[in-house]
Amino acid sequence: MTSCEPAAPVRVLIADDEPGILRSLASSLSRAGFDVTTADDGAPAIALADSATFALVVVDLNMRTSGLAVVRHYKRCYGTGVYCAVLSGEDDDVTRAACLEAGADDVFVKPIPASVLRRRLVEAAQGLRASGIAHTAAQGGCA
């Protein structure tokens, strides 16, 4: 993050069923100043929407409860006030179209260098802040 960032770190949720990827992304984003919460599947990530707020949500596409279900849920709850990115091992037009149709703001092909994801998340957080549309804790969760 930059030195002109507000004191409160940007909250990001990462959901991935691969423990090594989850740890690696969480560590990289935490070192960059993000407030990171992790989930090992889409179901707990969806449940977190009721009790916590996130400006950024990064999900693996292929989990027991699909990353697309997570994206749909957060976009239904918070619309453009949350940035959602999908990580996929598949690099094809059908997969990309399904992710974007679900509401994803970005689709990244695994493996993605941590520096590339970090840079894109910083840009997304800055865009949300600049537009003033990021959801807040005062708006509550989503049922």
Query: pLDDT of 44-96, one tens digit each?
Result: 999 999 888 999 999 999 999 999 999 999 999 999 999 999 999 999 999 99
User: 11-138 adopts what CATH topology?
Assistant: Rossmann fold (3.40.50)
> pTM for this structure?
0.89
Reference 56, options 99, 85, 27, 87; nearest CA is 85
Q: Of 100-104, 117-121, 124-128, which gets the smallest average pLDDT? A: 124-128
Q: Where are the domains of the chain?
A: 11-138
Q: What is the DSSP letter of 71?
A: H
**For residue 9, is the peptide bond before it cis, meaning its omega torsion is within 30 degrees of 0?**
no
Q: Which residue has the tokens 């770190």?
A: 9
* 137 DSSP assignment: G
